[in-house]
Structure 1
Amino acid sequence: MRSPLPSRGFEQHADKLSTASSLPRFRIGKTSQEQIVLAITVLLVIVFGVTLNGFATVSNLLNLLRSISILGVLGLGMGLIVISRGIDLSEVAIMAGSWSIALIEMQQGMAVPLAVLLALALAVFIGIINGVMVAFVEAPPLFVTLAAGFVIYGLAFWFAPAWVVYAPKDAPGLTFLGAGHLFGIPVPILVFAVAAIAMQLFLSRTSVGRFVYAQGDNPEAARLSGIALRPLIVLEYVLVAILAWMAGFVWVGTTGSMQMAITQGTMIFDVVLVVVIGGISLVGGRGGVFSVVVGCILIGTLLNAFTIMDVNSEVQNIIKGVVLLAAIVLDNWLHPRDEETARQGD
C-alpha cells in the first residue's frame, strides 16, 4: 500500500502554495529573502548616490534599468523553471541561436516579420525538445539543457559561421524594442515590466501557475492530486524558450546584432544569480516575480557602480560568485530543508 505521506504533505503545504505566487507582503517579525535583498539594494543606492558622481542622475538610473531588462526577461523564464524544481542552462543559447539564424535569413532576403516568426518557431521547438527529454525520457534537466546549449551553439555557428550576425539597417521596426522610447521611457524597461506583470498574473491567477508551485513543492503529492506533470513540464520549457526569444528581440534592437559568443560566456550564470539571490529556492516551490525583480535591481546596481568605478571584469566575477554563494546560504538559513516535501517522486 502506498504511503499516504505525500498526500498529507500536499495538504500541509496547501496554504503556502496558494500564497507563494501572490504579491509580496511585508510583515514585521517575518523577514523574507526578498525583503532583505530589497533593503540591501536601497542601502547601496543611497551609498552610491552619495559617494559616486553621476550615479544618482535620472539618465543613469534609466540606463541602469535598461541594462537589466534583458537579464530580467531571461530571469523570469529561469525563475519559472526553478520554481518547478528544474533548471534550463540552454536559455541564453536559445536566445542567441534562434536569432542568429533569423538574422542570416534576413540578410538573404527573407521578410523581417517572417524571420521574427522563424526565430520564435526555432525557440519553441527547442523548448519542446527540452521539455520532452525531461518529462518523458526523465533525463536530469541540468544535463539535458547543458547538452542542448552545446548543440544549439554548434548548429547555429555551423549555419551562421560568424561570431557576430548583424541585423539589416533598413528594418527600423526590428530595433524598436531595444532602442525605442515610449513616453520618454526606454522600451526595454517597458518590455521587462509587461513580461513581469504577465508572469505574475500567470503564476498567481491561473490554475496552471498554481500547479507549477505544487510541482516544485512536492512533485509526488502533485501527481497524486491529479496534476498532469509531464505536459506541465513541457509547457514550462516552452515558456522559458518564448521568454528567451523575447529577450533576443530586445538584444537585437539594442545592439543591432546577435553575438554567438555570449553562449560561451557567463551570462547564463548571471541569470541564475539574479533568480537565486532574489529568493527563488533551488529546491523549488518558493519565490516569484518579485524575487526576480529585486535580484535584477541589486545586480544592476552593483554592475552600474562597478562601471563608474572602473572595476575590471575579473573582480566583478569574483564578487558575483561570492554574492551567489551568500544567497544560497541565506536561502538555506531562511528555509530549512523539509525532508517530507523534498521528495521527488516514486
Structure 2
Amino acid sequence: MNKGAKWKDELPVILFIIIFVGLIILFSIFGSGFLTVNNILGILRHVSIVAIAALGVSFVVIVGHTDISFYLVACFAAMMMGFSLAKGLPAPMAVFAGLGCALAFGICSGFAVGVLKLPDIIIAIAIGTIGYGCAYLPSGGSRIYTNFSSSGIGFLNDGSILGIPCPTFLMLVFYIIAYIILEHTKFGTYFYSAGLNKIAANYSGIRVSLVVLVAFVICILLGAFAGEINTASVGNAEVTTALTLLLPCYTAVSIGTAIFKKPGVIGTFLGALLLQIVSNGFTHMNLKYWYSDLTTSILLILSLPISLLNNRKGNSGSTVKASA
C-alpha cells in the first residue's frame, strides 16, 4: 500500500480526532466548568445509557440488518420493571422481569428476520408498535412511583462498583465482553461473515439464521437494560422513558462505522462518547436541548457518505443496509 492510499485510509480517524479535540477545546473555552473532574465523570456516567443500547444496535448492524423496535420494547421493559417494583418484587427480580419481557420480543424479531426471512424494517415496525402498546398495560399510561425509593433500584444509576459509577461499570463490562466475542472468538467472526455475505456464510457451515436471531436478541436486551437504567435515574417508570434512544444509537454506530470502516465495539463507543460530549458541552453553554438533537442528526447525515464509500470499497458489506 502506497503512502497516499494509507493516508486516505487513515483520514476518517484523523478527522474524528480533530473534531473530538476541537469540541473539547471549544466547550472548555465557552462552557463554564466543562473541563473538570466532576463533569468528566458525569459524562462517563451519562454516556452509559446510549452506549449500552448502541452496542446492541451494533450487533444487528454487523449482521447486515436494521432494528428500529428496540427503543420501543425498552419502554415496555422499563414499565414492567416499575410494575414489578410496585407489586413488591425485589429490585433484581424486577430488573429481570423487564428483561424477560424484552427477551420474548427479541426472540420474535430474530426468528421472523433470521429464520422466516421477513423484511427487518416491517418486522421492526410491527414489533415496536406492539411493544410500545404493551408499555401502557401495566399502569394505563400513568407513571409508576410505588416502592421506587425503598426498593434500592436507584443503585442502578446512583450506586458504584469498585469505586466506579454503576452505569459506567456495567457499560465497561458489556463492551469488554462484546469486544472479546467479536474480535477474539470464532463465534464472533460469524456475525461479520453473516453481514458480509449470507449465502457464502451458509455454504461455509455457519447457521446464519441463528446468528441473526442472536443479534436481534442482544440488541433488544441491551436496549431494554439501558431503558431500565434510565428509569432508575428518573426515579419512576414512565411510558416514554426510552423514546430518545433511537437517533443517538444509530448515529453512534454510523460514526463508528465511518471511523473504522466497519461497525464494531470501539467505534460505537467513540461515537456515543462524541455525542455525549456535544450534549454536555451545549448544556454548559446554556443552549437549548434541541441544538443537541439537531447536531446529532447532522452528524448522522455526515457520517453516512463515508460509510457508503467504505462499503463500495468492499470493506464492509453491512454498511449500506445498516445505514439505511
Aligned residues: 313
Q: Which residue of 1 aligns with 2:236?
A: 257
Equivalence map 1:9-48=2 (5 Å): 30-31=9-10, 33-34=12-13, 36-48=15-27
Q: Tell me if 1:215 matches 2:194.
A: yes
| Equivalent of residue 100 in structure 2, options 107, 112, 121 | 121
Q: Which residue of 2 aligns with 1:226?
A: 205
Q: Which residue of 2 aligns with 1:82?
A: 61
Q: Per-residue CA shift, 1:160-202, capped at 9, x if unaligned?
A: 2135333522112x22221113454322111111111011011
| Equivalent of residue 205 in structure 1, options 180, 184, 193 | 184
Q: Which residue of 1 aligns with 2:224?
A: 245
Q: Which residue of 2 aligns with 1:162?
A: 141
Separation in 2 of the partners of 1:312 and 1:50? 18
Q: Per-residue CA shift, 1:257-298, capped at 9, x if unaligned?
A: 2331245x44211111111012269xxx92211111110111
Q: How far off its partner does 1:106 sit? A: 2.1
In 2, are the aligned partners of 1:37 and 1:278 still within 8 Å (CA)? no
Q: Which residue of 1 aligns with 2:257?
A: 279
Local SS of the residue matching 1:257? coil
Separation in 2 of the partners of 1:201 and 1:116? 25
Q: In structure 2, what residue type is equivalent to 1:279? A: T
Q: How far off its partner does 1:69 sit? A: 0.5
Q: Per-residue CA shift, 1:29-55, capped at 9, x if unaligned?
A: 631645532442122112322332211
Identity of aligned residues (%): 24
Q: Per-residue CA shift, 1:217-266, capped at 9, x if unaligned?
A: 11111111111111111111111122123323422332222331245x44
Q: Which residue of 1 aligns with 2:3?
A: none
Q: In structure 2, what residue type is equivalent to 1:82? A: V
Q: In structure 2, what residue type is equivalent to 1:321? A: S
Separation in 2 of the partners of 1:126 and 1:160? 20
State TM-score, norm by structure 1.
Answer: 0.82
Separation in 2 of the partners of 1:70 and 1:226? 36
Could you list the runs of 5+ residues in structure 1 that have no partner in the other structure? 1-26
In 1, are the aligned partners of 2:66 and 2:120 still within 8 Å (CA)? yes
Separation in 2 of the partners of 1:49 and 1:251? 27
Structure 1 pair 339/55, CA: closer, same or farther in 2 (3 Å)? closer
Equivalence map 1:56-205=2 (5 Å): 56-166=35-145, 168-172=148-152, 174-205=153-184
Q: Per-residue CA shift, 1:314-336, capped at 9, x if unaligned?
A: 33332222111100012223442
State TM-score, norm by structure 2.
Answer: 0.88
Q: Per-residue CA shift, 1:29-86, capped at 9, x if unaligned?
A: 6316455324421221123223322110111111111111100000100011101111
Separation in 2 of the partners of 1:224 and 1:103? 46
Separation in 1 of the partners of 2:315 and 2:47? 36
Local SS of the residue matching 2:237? strand
Separation in 2 of the partners of 1:317 and 1:86? 24
Local SS of the residue matching 1:54? coil
Q: Which residue of 2 aligns with 1:13?
A: none
| Equivalent of residue 298 in structure 1, options 260, 267, 274 | 274
Separation in 2 of the partners of 1:226 and 1:81? 20
Q: Which residue of 2 aligns with 1:313?
A: 289
Instruction: Using the TM superposition, name which of 183-192 and 94-103 deviates more.
Output: 183-192
Local SS of the residue matching 2:66? coil
